[in-house]
Amino acid sequence: MSKPTAGIFGLTGCAGDQLVILNCEDQLLDLVALIDIRDFLMAGSANDTGCDLDIAFVEGAVMSKRDEQALRRVRARARTLVAIGTCAVWGGVAATDESAPRDAWLEEVYGPTGADYDSLPARALHEVVQVDYQITGCPIEKDEFVSAVANLLNGDAPLLPQYAVCVECKFRECGCLLTERGEVCCGPMTVAGCNARCPALRIPCVGCRGPAADANFASATAMFTEGGVSPQDVARKLRTFAPQGVQQ
């Protein structure tokens, strides 16, 4: 059986998810032995930019016409398209404020030429093309990526948790930042998979992985406002990485 072909692509983002792939130091050589990575601009210069792909991993949000075209091209080439990272899955930090006056901001940051930029409000991949699987995380977790690849190679859908960060926080028996310290921790609304990284360091979760399947934003907002945080600040906080999730 010939090796499945794959491409790794980045739209507008921080390249963190591609970097995490390169950070799989222990598995990298196995990975390239198992899949034929034909198109990975960040890591190589001899890319086949037109071939069909069994799997395409796409990072970043769609933030320009150029991104949109690139994504459509990748979709047309790929049998399976996997969104990697919170930007690709939910829009990410750049999507946090959809009511932002973009034109004014562009001009403010880039000067008078800003207005001419090819710039669109951030969208997640699934808003533009059909996405087969989503691996969230800002950035994605190495383990989740590697096991998702293992599943995909077997022909199975990746198995990813849908429950909240609290579950893993309890697994690790960390002190609860909400009940014990009254902090604004987004753990109950945020999907697990990071092994409760932040609470384990006594740092409140900022929700970088996007919402858990059963997130109850209305109740969470009430909980935080009762704790003395202004509704506006709560809304901002909950929207930081995945504003779409809050709307749902």
Of 131 and 189, nearer to ligand SF4 (C-beta) is: 189
Interface with ligand SF4 includes 206 (CB under 6 A)?
Answer: yes
Structure tokens, 94: 């750049």
Contact (Cβ atoms closer than 8 angstroms) between residue 128 and residue 68: yes
Size of the site for ligand FAD (CB under 6 A): 2
State the residue for tokens 């404020």. Answer: 97
Interacting residues with ligand FAD between 102 and 161 (CB under 6 A): 159
Kindly state the smallest distance separating residue 159's Cβ from ligand FAD, in Å.
5
Neighbours of 45 (CB within 10 A): 6
Kindly state the smallest distance separating residue 187's Cβ from ligand FAD, in Å.
19
Kindly state the smallest distance separating residue 100's Cβ from ligand SF4, in Å.
23
Element (H, E) at 120: none
Interacting residues with other proteins between 131 and 150 (CB under 8 A): 138-139, 146-147, 149-150
Distance in angstroms (rounded) separating the CA atoms of residues 50 and 217: 43
Indicate which single residue of 212, 234, 238, 242 sits in contact with other proteins (rule: CB under 8 A): 212
Neighbours of 119 (CB within 10 A): 19
Interacting residues with ligand SF4 between 152 and 181 (CB under 6 A): 165
Of 157 and 203, nearer to ligand SF4 (C-beta) is: 203
Size of the site for other proteins (CB under 8 A): 114
Dihedral angle over CA of 173, 174, 178, 183, nearest 10: -170
Kindly state the smallest distance separating residue 25's Cβ from other proteins, in Å.
4
Structure tokens, 150: 């293992």
> What is the three-class DSSP state of 114?
helix
Residues binding ligand FAD (CB under 6 A): 159, 162
